[in-house]
Amino acid sequence: MAKIKAFFFDQDGVIIDTEKDGHRVAFNETFKAFGLDTEWSVDEYHSLLQVGGGKERMRHYHHTKGFNVEINPEEEDEFIKKLHQYKTDAFIKLLESNKLPPRPGIRRIMREINHMGLVLAVTTTSNQRAAQAVATKILPEIHFDFILAGDVVKVKKPNPEIYLMALEKAGLEPGECLVIEDSKNGVAAAYAAGIRVVATTNFYTKKEDLSLADMVVTYLGDPDGEKGTLRSGGEGLKYDGVLTARQLVDYFTS
């Protein structure tokens, strides 16, 4: 079996808990600023998360429930684009406020990956500016070999395009890589690309079907902080609530 040489991390819900108190808040701030009588509740946003990508999410909502404004079909793309630009600015302000810290174990395991000289990348459907803000503002000490985000792909997760692109960018085979994801769509995308997956659950994904993942934990965990719980997979792994990069490399190589 090939040795693991690269880690590909999803961003939202994996690196930071952005969905409920980040993206959702920024979307609602945007709707208010544009005079739209729309506010996405915690539960409604969960269902909307099944649509990959922020612009796609708003377009889906517009087509199924509708905003309280008349939008000509030929003006729809520009309207959605303006909403998304405002929303991205609002979200980045939240990131820069340091109110959305990395999830337990993220900073630790990324440092380990850097120390081991392995490829480290971000593979997200989040906006490119937001992804860069996470890398530079929240994790400035971490070296990322590359960041794939937003509209770099034509089709969002669960389509495997972003992971196929990551494989090409890294110059590696699927068996040499490991994906860290959190959602059903993300896990399905990695699985379709032939890459093994560790899923870390959060508020929105803890009840999703993550059975395609090779291992499911609540957190990657920190020795002196919040530890994770192993939910599935990991047979034979010596697990104490903290998953290290070395453990994962050895586990998925043996």
Q: What is the pLDDT of residues 41-76, one digit of tens each?
A: 999 998 998 898 899 999 999 999 999 888 888 899
Burial environment of residue 67 by CB neighbours within 10 A (0 to 12, 13 to 18, 19 or more): middle
pTM here?
A: 0.85
What is the rounded average pLDDT of the residues 8-27? 92
Q: Are 120 and 113 in contact (CB under 8 A)?
A: yes
What is the rounded average pLDDT of the residues 27-52? 93
CA 44 to mean position of chain CA atoms: 19
What is the rounded average pLDDT of the residues 178-183? 97
Same domain, 123 and 220: yes
Please confirm, yes or no, whether 12 is among the known catalytic residues: yes
- Asked if residue 1 belongs to a domain, the reply is no
Please confirm, yes or no, whether 10 is among the known catalytic residues: yes
Residue 226: the pLDDT is 95
Same domain, 54 and 147: no
What is the rounded average pLDDT of the residues 9-35? 93
What is the domain-level CATH number for residue 192? 3.40.50.1000
Q: Is the pLDDT of residue 146 over 70?
A: yes
Same domain, 91 and 136: no
Give the residue from 19, 14, 18, 52 showing the smallest Cα distance to 179. Answer: 14
What is the rounded average pLDDT of the residues 221-240? 95
**Which of 70, 96, 122 finishes a domain?**
96
Same domain, 154 and 208: yes
Same domain, 10 and 109: yes
Q: How confident is the model at residue 2 (pLDDT cuts 50, 70, 90)?
A: confident
Same domain, 107 and 43: no
The rounded percent of the chain whose pLDDT value lies above 70 is 100
Q: Work out the number of other CB atoms within 10 angstroms of the CB of residue 136.
A: 12
- Asked if residue 120 belongs to a domain, the reply is yes
Same domain, 113 and 228: yes
Same domain, 86 and 110: no
- Domain span holding position 83: 19-96
Number of domains in the chain: 2
Order of strands across the sheet with 230-233?
Answer: 146-149, 119-124, 6-9, 177-181, 196-200, 215-217, 230-233
The rounded percent of the chain whose pLDDT value lies above 90 is 80
Same domain, 123 and 183: yes
Q: What pLDDT, in 10s, does the model give residues 195-222?
A: 999 999 998 899 899 999 999 999 999 9
What is the rounded average pLDDT of the residues 77-96? 92
Residue 1: the pLDDT is 63
